[in-house]
Amino acid sequence: MSSDRVFGSLDEALILRARRSTVLASNLANADTPGYKARDLDFGDALKSAQASSSVQMRRTHPAHVTPQGSVGGEARLMYRNPEQPSLDGNTVDTQKEQARFSENAVRYQTTLSFLSSKVSKLKSTLKGE
């Protein structure tokens, strides 16, 4: 039994949330560094990419089903953020927005971790026969 069947994409989502947290923290740490360019990853695209490269593939089992669309596999790409108001020293970090993004990502990480923990608990109780 693969982990995809048990956990779905929760394990991949948790890894991507942790990676995004690191990128956002790096942006905040370099908020005063001249010429630093803020970066981020598109969580939705990264998760689709991770799911496409997983061992579970969608397939049509009935003629009325929608044809699955293939997506490009691979690793999440970091992208540069376009500043709304560029600074004179070339730094593109907007501290308030980065803090908001970091906080939102932290809440989503915690939520994903709770769902994953719940799945593990259910799996344990099933294996014990409870």
The residues spanned by each domain of the chain are 3-128
**C-alpha pair distances (Å), 57 with each of 1, 4, 62, 71, 86:** 15, 10, 15, 11, 43
Instruction: Kindly report, residue by residue over 19-41, the tens digit of the pLDDT.
Output: 999 999 999 999 999 999 999 98
The answer to whether the CB of 80 falls within 8 A of the CB of 37 is yes
The answer on pLDDT for 56 being more than 60 is no
List helix spans (H) across the chain: 3-7, 10-29, 43-52, 95-128
Mean pLDDT of 91-98: 94
Structure tokens at 11: 């394990």
Predicted structure pTM score: 0.71
pLDDT value at 71 more than 50: no
- Please answer whether residues 118 and 51 qualify as being in contact, where contact means their C-beta atoms are separated by less than 8 angstroms: no
Higher per-residue pLDDT: 44 or 111:
111
For residue 2, what are the CA distances in angstroms to 51, 58, 128?
13, 15, 19
Q: What is the pLDDT of residue 19?
A: 93
Quote the CA–CA distance of 114 and 50 in Å, as a whole number: 21
Predicted confidence at residue 53, as pLDDT, reads: 61
User: 119 CB contacts (<8 Å, ≥6 apart)?
Assistant: 6, 7, 10
